[in-house]
Amino acid sequence: MTTAVWFRKNLRVHDNAALTAAADAKQILPLFCLDPAWATPVTVGPNRCRFLLESLEDLDATLEAKYGARLHVVVGDPEQTIAKLFKEGTVTDIVFEGEVCEPRELELEQRIMKAHPQATMLPSTHLLYDIDEALTKGNPPTKMPGMVKLAGKLGAPAKPLPAPATLPPTAPVTCTLPTLQSLGYDSIIKDAAYGVKGGETSGLSRLREQMGRENGSWARAFEKPKTTPASWAGDSPTTLLSPYVAFGCVSARMFYAELKQVYAKGAHAQPPTSLLGQLYFREMSSLLGRFHGASFDQQPSAVCKDIDWDADAEAAKRLHAWDEGRTGYPLIDAAMRQLREQGWIHHLARHAVACFLTRGDLYVHWQRGRDVFDRDLLDADWAINNFNWLALSGVAPWSPPFFRVYNPVPTVTSSLNVRDPQGLYVDRFVPELKGLPAKHKYAPWLAPLSDLNKAGVKLGVSYPRPLVDHKTRSKENIARFKEAQRRAKEAKEAAAPSSKKRKAGA
C-alpha cells in the first residue's frame, strides 16, 4: 500500500496539505512530474527551468535529511506517468493539492480524478484564502480597495501548516534528477538576478533576510512605486521572493505570517503599494483567473476589449526586436536583455516594456508579450501574468486609462522612477553604448555625432535607431485604440440597445 504524494506548485515541506495528509499513509512516494511538453526552451527559458530543477533538488535533499525520504522525479506526461505508477502497482493511492485557476492544470487534475477515483484532491494552499470561500463573497474584486474589503470579510488567512514531524517510509524507487542538458537546454545561464537560487531552503532564508532587513523597518516602509527599475545587483530593490512564491518554495501564508510579525512591531505602509498589497494583487489575479476561467487569457472576453492589434509581417519584426532588446530605446532594450539573462526585471520595467510593446508604441498584441514573460520570468504565474498584461495593454476594466502612456526615455519626473543619472543600467545590459556621455545614454539618437564617434557608436549599425518615433507613434496609437473602443461599444450597443441609446435618439 503506497500513497503517491504529488507535488505540483507546492515544492516545499512547510504549509503542504498533501504532505501533511500523507503522514497517515503506510508508505509514501513523493512524486514530481516534469512534463517535457512544458519544459521546452521555446516555452520555458533556461533560467526558469534551472530554478525549477534547483527547487526539486532542494526538496529532495530536505525530504532525505528530515524524513529519510526521496523525491521521485519523472520526466514525462503527468497523466501517463501517474497511470503507469498505478498500473505497475508502484502506488495504490495518490494525494495532491488542487490547482487554483490555471486551466491546463485544472483539466489535468480532472483527468487524474476520473482515471483514479480513489485519489484525494485537497484544497490548495497556494493562496492566502481558500478560493472557493473567497468566491462565495461575490464577484472577485478588480481593484485594490475591493480586495482590501474582501480580505476584511474573510478575516485573517489561515496559519501555514507546519512541516510534518515524521513521515511514513518511502517506497523503494531509484531516481535521478533531470538536468538542463537532459531536458534539451543548451544555453545554460548560471546567474539569476541577485543570485536567487531555487528551493524552499533558500526561499525561507531569503524571506527571513528580507523581513529582517534594517531590523524590519525596510519591510514596513516598503512601497513599490518608490523602488527603482534600474537595478540588477547589490541590495535588491524588492524582496525577490516572487519566484519562490510562484513555484511554491515559500507559501503565501508563510510570507503573510512573517510579514504580520514585522508589521506588528511598528507603523507600516498600506495596500496597494505595501508588501501586503503585493500579496493582495496576487490573490486578486488568481480570483479573477478562476472566475473567468479559460477566457481569462483570451481576446476578446468579458475583461478584454477587442483591439485591432497589428499582426502583419512588420509587427512580427517589431515583436522580435522587442523580444531581443533591439528597439533602439536603451531603457526598453536593457530591460528585455536583463529579462533573458536574469529571469527577472523590476515591476516598473515590466510596465515600461509592456506599455511599449502594446498600446504605447509597437501596437503588438498583449498575448505575444505575455508569452515572452511566461517563458523568461522566474516568477511567471498564469493568473498574475495575464492580469498584468490585460492591465498594461489597456484592454481590461482594471487597466489604467489607455491614453496614459509611459515615456520610454526616462525623465526626472517620470513615474517609471528610473533614477539612473550615470546610465549604469544601460552600461550593464546595453554595453555597446558604454562610451556615451551619461546624458545621452537613454536617448543615443539625440547625441551629437562627435559624442557618438568618440564612443564608437554607429547608429543603425552598432546600435539600432529607434524602431518607431515615440511621440508620433503613441499619439497615433491612442487614436487607434480610441477608435477600436468606439467600434466595440457601437457593436455592443447594436446587439443590446440600452436606455442611453434611446435617450440619444430622442
Q: Name the residues that contact DNA, by CB under 7 A.
A: 139, 141-146, 149, 223-225, 272-273, 277-278, 281, 305, 347-348, 351, 391, 397-398, 400-407, 411, 413-416, 482, 485, 489, 499-500, 503
- For 193, counting Cβ atoms within 10 Å of its Cβ (0-12 exposed, 13-18 middle, 19+ buried), the class is buried
Please give the helix or strand (H or E) that residue 94 lies within, else none: strand 93-97
Q: Rounded to the nearest whole angstrom, what is the least distance from the CB of residue 501 to DNA in the complex?
A: 11
Whichever of 299 and 485 has its CB closer to DNA, that residue is 485
Strand partners, 74: 33
| Residue keyed to cell 519584426 | 317
Q: Rounded to the nearest whole angstrom, what is the least distance from the CB of residue 499 to DNA in the complex?
A: 5
126-146 burial, b for 16+ CB within 10 Å, e for fewer?
Answer: bbbbbbeebeeeeebbbebeb
Q: Rounded to the nearest whole angstrom, what is the least distance from the CB of residue 127 to DNA in the complex?
A: 17
Establish whether the linkage from the previous residue to 229 is cis, with ω within 30° of 0.
no
Q: Rounded to the nearest whole angstrom, what is the least distance from the CB of residue 331 to DNA in the complex?
A: 10
**CA atoms 271, 276, 282, 285: torsion sign:** negative
Cβ(15)–Cβ(71) below 8 Å: no
Q: Rounded to the nearest whole angstrom, what is the least distance from the CB of residue 140 to DNA in the complex?
A: 8
Whichever of 26 and 475 has its CB closer to DNA, that residue is 475
Residue 264's alpha-carbon distances to 51, 256, 418, in angstroms, are 33, 12, 32
Whichever of 139 and 182 has its CB closer to DNA, that residue is 139
Whichever of 6 and 256 has its CB closer to DNA, that residue is 256
Whichever of 19 and 288 has its CB closer to DNA, that residue is 288
Whichever of 208 and 475 has its CB closer to DNA, that residue is 475
Q: Rounded to the nearest whole angstrom, what is the least distance from the CB of residue 347 to DNA in the complex?
A: 6
Q: Rounded to the nearest whole angstrom, what is the least distance from the CB of residue 485 to DNA in the complex?
A: 6
Whichever of 265 and 492 has its CB closer to DNA, that residue is 492
Q: Rounded to the nearest whole angstrom, what is the least distance from the CB of residue 160 to DNA in the complex?
A: 24
- The residue among 36, 39, 29, 38 whose CA lies nearest residue 2 is 29
How far apart are alpha carbons 241 and 379 in whole angstroms? 9
Q: Rounded to the nearest whole angstrom, what is the least distance from the CB of residue 346 to DNA in the complex?
A: 10
Q: Which long-range contacts (CB under 8 A, 24 or more apart) does 385-389 make?
A: 386/285, 386/289, 386/296, 386/297, 387/281, 387/284, 387/285, 387/288, 387/289, 388/285, 388/350, 388/354, 389/354, 389/358
Whichever of 242 and 342 has its CB closer to DNA, that residue is 242
Q: What is the DSSP string of 323-381?
A: HHT-SS-HHHHHHHHHHHHHS---HHHHHHHHHIIIIITT-B-HHHHHHHHHHH-TT--
Whichever of 137 and 434 has its CB closer to DNA, that residue is 137
Q: List alpha helices for 356-469, DSSP H.
A: 366-376, 382-392, 424-429, 449-455
How far apart are alpha carbons 468 and 473 in whole angstroms? 7
